[in-house]
Amino acid sequence: MILLKITSKDANQRVDKYVKKYLNEAPLSFIYKLFRKKDVKINKHWVKENYILQEGDELSIYVSDQQLQDFNKPKEVTKSDLKHPIIYEDDNILIVNKPRGLLVHGDENEKVVTLSNEVINYLYFKGEYNPNDKGFTPAPAHRLDRNTSGLVVFAKNLISLQELEELFKNKENIEKEYLALVKGKIDHKMEIDAPLLKDENSGTVRISKNGKTALTIVNKFKNYGDFSLVKVVILTGRTHQIRVHLASINHPVIGDAKYGDFKLNKEFKDLYGFENQFLHAHCLSFGKLSGHLSYLSNKKFTCDLPVSEQKVLAKLKN
């Protein structure tokens, strides 16, 4: 049996999430079997998996010594500085400028080289994370596609993560703005209201009346001949939302290999040596906040376009 005392930094989360992190190598089927068999108790009383941990709780997990050895393993980390620009950092959050081509989270093909792992290595290097501590692991509060560059916010503690996730979920008092170079000239503000449906087999997204509500605001920024650099704000967070919506109005993102103009993408490669997706999360704005992160109220964080994108714009201008 394992007996654990819940501290303030581990409180206010579901008990099943905590048990998953503690038995980090255990399959989900094993975790939920523990709850079905009433092998997880709080203060000597059996609880369901949705119980919210409180500071001072005593958590008992009934597993054998061998199961503990097999399923409780420290996360592999290496002390290293962060090679990507840090836009802002304090005791609660870290805002990083993610390069294009790097995953935020791991997937079935890549689990090691991710921004999340690099941030954890960095915080270990600083002494702000201990891989042997089975409590909270610093985590991103939202995602960016692999081939989208720009701002990603990480939480260093549970309460910050919960507040950030709630902000991103409700889309209130927080706004992400993207810069995108698109085909064609855009001279006025546009609102794209078209539901999106994801095909889980192909990983692609399309507009469909059976999809989820999706709303995108496109604002004119600068025109470069037959191309436009636009500022985009999404009021819903659907997969590939910006790319699909812009393609649907015949203004696809330059370099978009899934939804873009493939002939035009080849021209950009031949003429400018550019074969990437021109989409960058360049601005994050907080509104009036309450709670733990209230000190971030009305703050705004930005990061410049990557150098390769800046070079393309310079060539288009000339």
**Residues that are catalytic:** 145
The SS3 of residue 117 is helix
Angle, helix 28-36 to helix 15-22, in steps of 10 degrees: 130
CB 174 within 8 A of CB 287: yes
Structural Rg of the chain based on CA atoms? 22
Angle, helix 262-272 to helix 307-317, in steps of 10 degrees: 90
* Backbone phi and psi for residue 51, each to the nearest 5 degrees, phi listed first: -60, 135
Helical spans, DSSP H, in 59-208: 65-71, 115-126, 158-170
Handedness of CA 72, 76, 82, 84 (dihedral sign): negative
**For residue 13, what are the CA distances in angstroms to 17, 68, 178?**
7, 22, 32
